[in-house]
């Protein structure tokens, strides 16, 4: 049923193969709500009720994340790319380094950026602030991000010194201290819709558009990400993701990880 339905929603089956169980559980819950016994009848229901496609679309977001996901990426950001962007921002007189985390889930990625900046980079760039827009399509995920309390499994990759500095233990959860949350602005937004009016030094669009969306939608998202970046800004994708070749204006910033730089001479 998913192989039949996903292309109609500009999604690709290949991206969902390994995580399909999460989607199938949501679809089964929806079928139970409707009193539909099997997927064949649900397909008939979709054909007869066009508005149901929007409900099915709401079953598709994948909620898998953790702090410091893809260790090599964050090591490169810490030691090379964020300092480069910070130096440039300060030279240009910017008040803050601006980041956008798309598909932020329960806040693991944007809060990782905040912890990294506060603990390991901020002292090197006095007077330069950090602002992070963290957006997600799912309201319940943003509510979790607002609470900022996580199970131990979500922090398993985070270096121990960072974990000790940024979190407080509360029963079985680890809760992020308030000072690490101040830089992060949470916002409900569908990446397929309108983008923010502002532009950013770095955008992280990982394990989202370039995994689950079809080629045409990837091209559209890629072009709009280009316009949302400042010249010389960085676009960070997930492991095993890549920009479609049809998206102009980017060049690889590193040979082994999917980080792209917006070209300087194209504004």
Tell me phi and psi for residue 30, to 5 degrees: -65, -40
For residues 121 and 157, the answer to whether their CB atoms sit within 8 Å is no
pLDDT of residue 50: 96
pLDDT of residue 243: 96
Burial of 93 (0-12, 13-18, 19+ CB in 10 A): exposed
For 139-181, how does the pLDDT look when each residue is reduced to its tens digit (9 = 90+)? 999 999 999 999 999 999 999 999 999 999 999 999 999 999 9
- Listed in sequence order, the residues at least 6 apart from 44 whose beta carbon sits closer than 8 Å to its beta carbon are none
Structure tokens at 185: 């602005």
pLDDT of residue 267: 53
pLDDT of residue 266: 57
Low-confidence ranges of the chain (pLDDT < 70): 266-267
pLDDT of residue 63: 84
pLDDT of residue 38: 93
Between strands 96-102 and 129-136, the pairing is parallel
For residues 142 and 188, the answer to whether their CB atoms sit within 8 Å is yes
Structure tokens at 44: 């008939």
Phi-psi group of 118: left, alpha or beta (phi > 0 → left; psi -120 to 50 → alpha; rest → beta): alpha
Structure tokens at 69: 């996901």
Instruction: Give residue 266's Cα distance to chain centre.
Output: 25
Structure tokens at 65: 């994340």
pLDDT of residue 264: 86
- How far apart (Å, rounded) are the C-alpha atoms in residues 200 and 196? 10
pLDDT of residue 87: 97
pLDDT of residue 64: 84
For 211-226, how does the pLDDT look when each residue is reduced to its tens digit (9 = 90+)? 999 999 999 999 999 9
pLDDT of residue 210: 97
């Amino acid at each position: 049923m998913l192989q039949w339905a996903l292309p109609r929603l500009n999604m690709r089956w290949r991206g969902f193969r390994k995580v399909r169980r999460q989607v199938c559980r949501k679809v089964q819950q929806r079928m139970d709500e409707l009193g539909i016994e099997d997927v064949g009848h649900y397909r008939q229901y979709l054909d007869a009720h066009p508005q149901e496609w929007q409900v099915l679309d709401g079953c598709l977001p994948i909620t898998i994340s953790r702090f410091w996901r893809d260790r090599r990426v964050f090591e490169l950001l810490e030691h090379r790319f964020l300092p480069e962007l910070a130096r440039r921002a300060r030279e240009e007189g910017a008040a803050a380094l601006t980041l956008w985390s798309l598909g932020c889930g329960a806040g693991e990625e944007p809060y990782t950026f905040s912890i990294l900046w506060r603990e390991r980079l901020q002292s090197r760039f006095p007077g330069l602030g950090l602002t992070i827009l963290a957006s997600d399509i799912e309201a319940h995920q943003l509510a979790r991000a607002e609470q900022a309390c996580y199970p131990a499994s979500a922090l398993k990759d985070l270096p121990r010194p960072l974990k000790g500095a940024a979190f407080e233990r509360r029963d079985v959860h680890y809760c992020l201290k308030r000072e690490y949350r101040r830089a992060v602005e949470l916002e409900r937004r569908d990446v397929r819709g309108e983008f923010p009016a502002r532009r950013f030094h770095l955008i992280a669009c990982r394990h989202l558009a370039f995994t689950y969306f079809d080629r045409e939608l990837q091209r559209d998202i890629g072009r709009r990400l280009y316009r949302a970046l400042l010249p010389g800004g960085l676009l960070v994708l997930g492991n095993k993701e890549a920009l479609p070749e049809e998206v102009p204006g980017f060049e690889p910033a590193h040979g082994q990880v999917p980080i792209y730089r917006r070209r300087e001479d194209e504004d």
